[in-house]
Amino acid sequence: MKLGNFELLALSDGTFALDGGQMFGVVPRALWEMKLPPDDRNRVRLGLTCLLVRTGTHNVLVETGIGDKFAAKYIDIYGIEKTTTLPVELAKAGLKLEDIDVVINTHLHFDHCGWNTRRENGRIVATFPRARYCVQRGEWDHALHPTERDVASYVTEFFRPAEVQTEFLEGDQEIVPGVRVEVLPGHTRDLQCVHIESEGQRACFISDLVPTRHHLPYPWIMAFDLYPMETLANKHRLLPRLAEQGTLVIFPHDPDVPWARVSDENGRITAMPLS
Ligand SMILES: [Zn+2]
């Protein structure tokens, strides 16, 4: 997909599955099961979409999927299916691991930073040897000291071995020309989404503010969110703007549609098929 002078590629790291109740918060199963039918363990299948932005000067990778370091027990619990992997997808796009200049993590939950690191000769090392890894400082600190409520969402070995290559961000900022992050608290205190703009064309990696297109309706908010009322307020702030500007929205976990443009009809936000 072309975006002005940039090239965007949606790269998959396979799929996983989470409890449907956790994914849809206060929305009853009678409603969400019509959108995503659960399996016999009440889990819904989810995508693991990462975004590669080729600006012509930089290769910027947004998110790194779930990785390959989970033990069998968690592969079962989270229904991880490696139909493909991020490194395979990068290779298909003609890129080596050392070609990645910047990695942006919107937050450090295990399904967003899995390939920040990889195993090599029994050690865990940074996957992208030349990259600077960009993460909010508040998210990093929280990931190392989570609460009892969200401790299961963080796996230290997925991100900490890349610490020396990590740039700790403090709030909104430009990462490279045309790529900037905006902090939108709710899912976590320091969740950031990524805005991409070239030649007046816009895209937004919206992260877990809107994990799938089924989460576009305002009250469809995950039970995982630490601050759900802030998620609600930030959806109201951001989504009408994205609709008005014709922004391409990239969803991290939609099982069927990695990206879409959205429309706002009298306060109802819906995904439009790409023509
Ligand atoms: Zn996620």
Counting beta carbons within 10 angstroms of the beta carbon of residue 93, is it exposed (0 to 12), middle (13 to 18) or buried (19 or more)? middle
pLDDT of 275 over the 70 cut: no
**Distances in whole angstroms, Cα of residue 144 to Cα of each of 62, 123, 133, 151, 157:** 21, 20, 16, 9, 10
pLDDT of 138 over the 90 cut: yes
pLDDT at 90: 98
Find the 109 Cα to ligand 1 centroid distance in Å: 6
Say how far apart CA 63 and CA 143 lie, in whole Å.
16
Find the 175 Cα to ligand 1 centroid distance in Å: 22
Find the 153 Cα to ligand 1 centroid distance in Å: 9
Find the 229 Cα to ligand 1 centroid distance in Å: 18
Closest Cα partner for 216 from 238, 193, 195, 183?
238
- Average pLDDT, stretch 224-230? 98
pTM given for the model: 0.96
Find the 23 Cα to ligand 1 centroid distance in Å: 10
Using the structure block, give the residue that is written with the tokens 């969740």: 191
pLDDT of 29 over the 90 cut: yes
pLDDT at 273: 76
pLDDT of 105 over the 90 cut: yes
Q: What percent of the chain has pLDDT over 70?
A: 100
